[in-house]
Structure 1
Amino acid sequence: MNGQPFQTPVEYLKGVGTARAEVLKKELGVKTLGDLLQHFPFRHIDRTRFYKIKDVQDDLPYVQVIARVTRKEILGEKHTKRLVAQVQDDTGVMELVWFQGIKWVEKNLTAGKAYILFGKPGSFNGKAQMSHPEFDLYGSEAAQRKGNLTLQPVYSSTEKLKQFTLDSKGIQKLVVGLLDQFAREITENLPLYIVNKFKLMARADAYRNFHFPEDANKLAEARHRLKFEELFLLQLKLLKNKVLHTQKFKGAIFDKVGPFFNEFYAHKLPFELTNAQKRVLKEIRQDTQRGVQMNRLLQGDVGSGKTVVALMSMLIAIDNGFQTCIMAPTEILASQHYQTIKSLVGDGFIEVALLTGSVKTKDRKIIHQKLENGELKILIGTHALIEDKVQYQNLGMVVIDEQHRFGVEQRSKLWRKNVIPPHVLVMTATPIPRTLAMTLYGDLDVSVIDELPAGRKPIKTVHLYESSRLRMFGLMKEEIAKGRQIYIVYPLIQESEKLDLKNLMDGFETISREFPLPQYRISVVYGKIKAEEKEYEMQRFVRGETQIMVATTVIEVGVNVPNASVMIIENAERFGLSQLHQLRGRVGRGAEQSYCILMSKDKLSADGRIRLNTMVKTNNGFEIAETDLQLRGPGNIEGTQQSGLLDLKVSDLTTDQELLMLCRKCVEDIFAVDPQLAAPEHQVLNMAFQDKNAGLSWNKIS
């Protein structure tokens, strides 16, 4: 498909024209011949199988029979007019009925002749019946041409398209015309040694057989070939970006580990590092010694110790004479990082500052001054860090937390804060399944912290129905008696904000009755209250002045209260898996046993039940992310919608994981021997980058 014909506007294809081209563009995004070729059927109807009339049952989706017309007649008047025909084979009799197109059927259906009949079976008065079946004269050329005795493609269409006779059949007709005219222009876009090594179907054959398969085996081969191509080209693009990045962006060399790192490691680190943390630090250390800008993603579950790894990496940068910063998406999260790092480094060790929109002008000026003269070594903040006024003397490392909340432009502004681009460490507490990480962040190196610090007890998760509410109250009283604190979280979904607020307020009243003053004190936090009021309530809870925090999901990120040991999630069936997992991560911060209680109504959807069962079964964020990927599909996982990378035509990241790994390895092997793709056999891959219809929209990849 490399070449001009497939970039031709679709209106120039025979049978399309301006009006149909416009509706194809609006409804399906089909603008060119290449787009039409890649509007693949979503299933195929098996027209190779024939039923005997005695075996036709009305619960079958469709059937195909060969039968002879024994009689036909038009019954009824005007509005009740219908054509009824009786057909039979050697096993029984069936009735056919048409309410529309009666004149055409009357003319083309001849008594005494045998036909191939195809349609949705039903029954009437105990007899087999088919309404509006397709029919072709048995043994005729037309029957063969129309796709009988084959796997017939079914294309997605819309009501608007059907007004232009572009239902599945209409689209099929256009694709037939396109292939008849241009199939020979579909050229190979993978090196022949790859095609041969993996026994892939030739590209032109794959397109033809995906649309109009000769048989089920050929369809499977065609699908495999096109999936391989799509995933291979995706990984090729991502890894080529990585190679270009390595060549283009030189990085500062951190060639020593000095007093800041050593002092912290020997005297300030409050716990033994896990093996996973040590491994990640080693990977970062190696990255920062190569003279190339580090571009690394650090994945780790809530509480796995990512912040300590980030801090120790920053201390290496500081030992080498550089400044560092952490950018977080919200003030709450930035403040939490500030508090955590301040408590880890203590006073008088290193200068740390917090810069957010709330910082007063006077304090802001001091921060700017200390940054410029190099006195300030660690700056933590929000988008405020990328303002033009913020100038560093020598920025060497940038840590970006929950980076999917920042745009590409915002991230690159930080890079430009130094002559040599700073090393970049991107952190996320949203565990991402491996296949998704390889697709979304395929141009980054990925590190994973997959174990929790020693002494942490796994959180016990329980699913309770409304009828067990008294049991929940009992557990709450037991924990408060031990001096612990409790979160109760209500869903907040914008469409039903009034209802949600009512639920929260009703819940607050119930809790207030069950836990009265002065023995118990309760904080309430939700999105609509003023920022200072929210902060006041949060701080009361942090200081232990209130035992229960009733809140919406505003506490999902950014609240760290080691003394809180119970997380109760009301209407848990209304939350997504990753959100449930994030909320659960607010407890279990101390050494005490913590609990997560999922409250739900009695009736649950199948997906809701799977979500809650998954939470009860495992604390592993990566297992949860895999289940989330299977339930929701990749396009709906947090932070992936805007990527444009998941607009895959034939592949599915939930089912094609092995194939993705294979393609990734294959591309890595190519770049290992030919990073410039200069070898003659790789010229075809360079062509794929130029070809808009190579199987992926490159312009969507940032």
Structure 2
Amino acid sequence: MNSTPADIPLAYFKGVGATRAQVLASELGLTSAWEALQCYPFRYIDRSRFYKIGELQDSGSDVQIIGRITQMKLVPMKRGKRLVAYLQDDTGTLELVWFRGYKYIQEQLKSGEVYVAFGRLNRYQSQWNMAHPELELKSKFEQQQRSSLQPVYPSTEILGKKGITQRLFRAIQQQAFQQCRAGLKEVLPPNLIVRLQLIGREEAFRHIHFPENADLLAKARFRLKFEEFFFMQLHLLTKNIQHKQRIKGLPFEKVGNYFGDFYQNHLPFELTGAQKRVVKEIRNDLGKPIQMNRLLQGDVGSGKTMVALLSMLLAVDNGFQACLMAPTEILAQQHYKGLTELLEPLGLEIGLLTGSVSKKDRQPLLEGLASGELKLIVGTHALLEKQVEFKQLGLAIIDEQHRFGVAQRSKLWKKNSIPPHILVMTATPIPRTLAMSVYGDLDNSVIDEMPPGRKPVKTEHWFDKNRLKMIQFLKQEIAKGRQAYIVYPLIQESSKMDYKDLMDGYESISRDFPQPQYQISIVHGQMKAEDKEFEMQRFVRGETQIMVATTVIEVGVNVPNASVMVIESAERFGLSQLHQLRGRVGRGADQSYCILMSSYKLSDEAKTRMSTMVNSQDGFQIAEVDLQLRGPGDLLGTQQSGVLQLKIADLVKDNPILKRARSEAFDILKDDPKLEKPEHQLMKRQYQLLYSDKALWGYIS
């Protein structure tokens, strides 16, 4: 039998039936016994404690009370009726209320009897009440042996209306466990179970749903979380191994004149130790007949573009072409301009292909790429178009890779008979837990060192009452010959949100900084590309002192003379965006500043974001806080969050378990890469069961 138990439809379960089964499927995605068993409790309630009615304090908490039913009555409402029963102990009276199913309750409930009532406490007009409580005769309650820890399962309003209560859910889990029990075979190697002192798989499922005590619950949770992470990491590491075995690459066997000349004579600055280390890692990859599949992480301003250029020169030295793909036209133009200046001493031409390049200018580029005369090109999605053909594309570099879908990136593979080497770069630091999970099949390089001489950007959080102070500060910086950005979250006024919008802001700034003394640029996503570029260039040339913009300038603008970044309604932005925006300043030798403007009304999360920005310059540390605040799904967006459909493990809270699981999976694959040993057969079968339908998208960066 496979390690996954037999799937019995929930419609056949006692208390469920066809209608409730349909609701469980639509609301929670549960259709079978095995799926139900993997719907884990999200918390547990201590049922060992009983409260007196007179000592009740917290509305909204779950409590358990022993009392006698003294009275019952039906109370008419605008729509239908409600049943009210009064539960009394020696300290007071509690109202028990039912808005539905009250006829059945009225028939079952016995006035004068002593009951155990359990449920969510509410207070209405100085009277405590409990809606739809779990009720059991005290005599019956005392006869049953039960755990003091009662599981609480996910629920929705629709489930409640259909009578799928927590009590029914627990009954479903008891049936599911009995149905699946025979199939809960062990799937981890015996020596791993002994080494980590893991409880058995069947035991883990029993104690996660029906814990006898807190210790067994903790062991069950650890076992199931470890198993979930372990098979995920086994999959990612297997993909990496298979990639290196199956996907042939173009070996760059020499370090030639272009690389050597540039490195020896034209580097504009000494590389940092981290840059040298990463270049060495990439050179090592490119020298093998295996396709490189590497992720390059580096904070804003850490020097990823220089590493990219050196990698591209290695391609040219070996007779291949290289492309650099960016998500926006602004960023592509920025890369093109910077690389053109760096390559000028080498006499090496580089092209630029974006959506706004005219047909007339596009034709020579296409011909140059097809003939092989044009060795280097920077572009946007336009590089993926069918008519763009390379003679011999050896290296594809993808900047801000999270902005591209996997299917889009896969089109680059088809630009060559042997797939080009892939280097994906991001200036948005990825928390280590995500790097191990979403990108766990890629080789990972990190530039964790900033170029010397860069002054940290001073970051301050000011409230709206400090607006005059902010204006005065900007005027002082402009008087020194500096420039400033003022960024707004919205383009047009929103009736739902009380945030400064760009157009109002522009008018206000224009009054505070009148012409002809001051010149202001305005840039936002709804402008035509040529208008946007015109305004950008005015700012770059220093013809305007202030750029009023939306987050369109988050990436791709490099003006060393800009020393102030003002972010309006800063509470509206995520940490990653705030950090990226701050990275637009601090690129010159002068002290730079980032001012976070916000209202006084801040959520706890917004306060955390503000204090994190003020106290930290480290993008990786900021990314970790962002992960804790938002969770992996929001951080990754819809394109990649599906990778992390974890049922019990939590990337943020269970980081140590994830690291241990990856380490154990790595050691097993290092010793037995094809999982051929007898002790690995059950594990191999489970892995195939879990991942047989997963496309190896990881091959495509």
TM-score, length-normalised on structure 1? Answer: 0.92
Partner of 1:41: 41
2:438 corresponds to 1:440: yes
Contact 1:72 1:83 in 2 (8 A): no
SS at match of 2:394: strand
Contact 1:83 1:106 in 2 (8 A): no
Pair 317,122 (structure 1): closer, same or farther in 2 beyond 3 Å: closer
CA distance in 1: counterparts of 2:312 and 2:126, whole angstroms: 79
Q: Select which of 173, 176, 185 maps to 2:171.
A: 173
Partner of 2:571: 573
Pair 421,641 (structure 1): closer, same or farther in 2 beyond 3 Å: closer
Partner of 2:526: 528
Pair 495,61 (structure 1): closer, same or farther in 2 beyond 3 Å: farther
Superposition map of 1:215-364 within 5 A: 215-346=213-344, 349-364=347-362
SS at match of 2:173: helix
CA distance in 1: counterparts of 2:348 and 2:567, whole angstroms: 40
Equivalent position amino acid for 1:449 in 2: I
Equivalent position amino acid for 1:316 in 2: L
- Measure how far apart 1:236 and its partner are: 0.7
SS at match of 2:470: helix
Partner of 1:637: 635
CA distance in 1: counterparts of 2:498 and 2:47, whole angstroms: 52
CA distance in 2: counterparts of 1:433 and 1:83, whole angstroms: 52
SS at match of 1:336: helix
Equivalent position amino acid for 1:610 in 2: T
SS at match of 2:501: helix
Equivalent position amino acid for 1:177 in 2: Q
CA distance in 1: counterparts of 2:290 and 2:557, whole angstroms: 36
The answer to which of 590-599 and 100-109 deviates more is 100-109
Superposition map of 1:503-518 within 5 A: 503-518=501-516
How many residues are paired up?
694
Equivalent position amino acid for 2:453 in 1: G
Partner of 2:554: 556
CA distance in 2: counterparts of 1:59 and 1:24, whole angstroms: 29
Contact 2:70 2:112 in 1 (8 A): no
How big is each residue's C-alpha offset from its partner over 1:386-412, in whole Å with a ceiling of 9 and x where there is no partner? 222222222111101111222222212
Give RMSD over aligned pairs: 2.8
SS at match of 1:492: coil
Partner of 1:116: 116
- Measure how far apart 1:323 and its partner are: 1.2
The answer to which of 422-431 and 474-483 deviates more is 474-483
CA distance in 1: counterparts of 2:497 and 2:74, whole angstroms: 54
Contact 1:93 1:128 in 2 (8 A): no
- Measure how far apart 1:376 and its partner are: 1.4
Equivalent position amino acid for 1:43 in 2: R
Contact 1:566 1:595 in 2 (8 A): yes
Superposition map of 1:118-133 within 5 A: 118-120=118-120, 133=133
CA distance in 2: counterparts of 1:260 and 1:252, whole angstroms: 19
- Measure how far apart 1:77 and its partner are: 7.3
Contact 2:53 2:94 in 1 (8 A): no
Q: Select which of 477, 482, 485 maps to 2:483.
A: 485
SS at match of 1:528: coil
Partner of 1:213: 211
SS at match of 1:416: helix
The answer to which of 257-266 and 170-179 deviates more is 170-179
Superposition map of 1:26-65 within 5 A: 26-51=26-51, 55-57=55-57, 59=59, 61-65=61-65
Equivalent position amino acid for 1:422 in 2: P
Contact 1:94 1:129 in 2 (8 A): no
Pair 697,116 (structure 1): closer, same or farther in 2 beyond 3 Å: farther
CA distance in 2: counterparts of 1:93 and 1:468, whole angstroms: 54
- Measure how far apart 1:591 and its partner are: 1.4
Pair 540,691 (structure 1): closer, same or farther in 2 beyond 3 Å: same
Contact 2:3 2:686 in 1 (8 A): no
- Measure how far apart 1:62 and its partner are: 2.8
- Measure how far apart 1:24 and its partner are: 1.8
Pair 129,689 (structure 1): closer, same or farther in 2 beyond 3 Å: closer
Equivalent position amino acid for 1:182 in 2: C
CA distance in 2: counterparts of 1:128 and 1:548, whole angstroms: 60
- Measure how far apart 1:130 and its partner are: 5.9
Pair 110,250 (structure 1): closer, same or farther in 2 beyond 3 Å: same
Pair 28,127 (structure 1): closer, same or farther in 2 beyond 3 Å: closer
TM-score, length-normalised on structure 2? Answer: 0.92
Equivalent position amino acid for 1:445 in 2: D
Partner of 1:598: 596
- Measure how far apart 1:583 and its partner are: 0.7
Pair 315,137 (structure 1): closer, same or farther in 2 beyond 3 Å: same
SS at match of 1:691: helix
Pair 407,119 (structure 1): closer, same or farther in 2 beyond 3 Å: closer
The answer to which of 676-685 and 660-669 deviates more is 676-685
Pair 650,84 (structure 1): closer, same or farther in 2 beyond 3 Å: closer
How big is each residue's C-alpha offset from its partner over 1:462-495, in whole Å with a ceiling of 9 and x where there is no partner? 1111111122122211211221111111112789
Contact 2:258 2:346 in 1 (8 A): no
Contact 2:350 2:378 in 1 (8 A): yes
Partner of 1:368: 366
Pair 581,263 (structure 1): closer, same or farther in 2 beyond 3 Å: same
Superposition map of 1:392-407 within 5 A: 392-407=390-405
- Measure how far apart 1:365 and its partner are: 2.1
- Measure how far apart 1:113 and its partner are: 5.5
Partner of 1:20: 20
How big is each residue's C-alpha offset from its partner over 1:674-700, in whole Å with a ceiling of 9 and x where there is no partner? 1111111111222123324x8x98469
How big is each residue's C-alpha offset from its partner over 1:521-568, in whole Å with a ceiling of 9 and x where there is no partner? 111112222222111111111111111111111111111111111111
CA distance in 1: counterparts of 2:40 and 2:587, whole angstroms: 50
SS at match of 2:643: coil
Superposition map of 1:61-140 within 5 A: 61-67=61-67, 69=68, 72-74=70-72, 84-85=85-86, 87-88=88-89, 92=91, 94-95=93-94, 97-98=96-97, 108=108, 114-120=114-120, 133-140=133-140
Equivalent position amino acid for 2:436 in 1: M
SS at match of 2:324: strand
Contact 1:561 1:589 in 2 (8 A): yes
Pair 131,586 (structure 1): closer, same or farther in 2 beyond 3 Å: closer
Q: Select which of 628, 631, 634 maps to 2:626.
A: 628
CA distance in 2: counterparts of 1:538 and 1:560, whole angstroms: 10
Equivalent position amino acid for 2:41 in 1: P
Gaps of 5+ in 2: none
Contact 1:74 1:81 in 2 (8 A): no
Contact 2:492 2:502 in 1 (8 A): no
CA distance in 1: counterparts of 2:635 and 2:329, whole angstroms: 24
Contact 2:461 2:597 in 1 (8 A): yes
Gaps of 5+ in 1: none
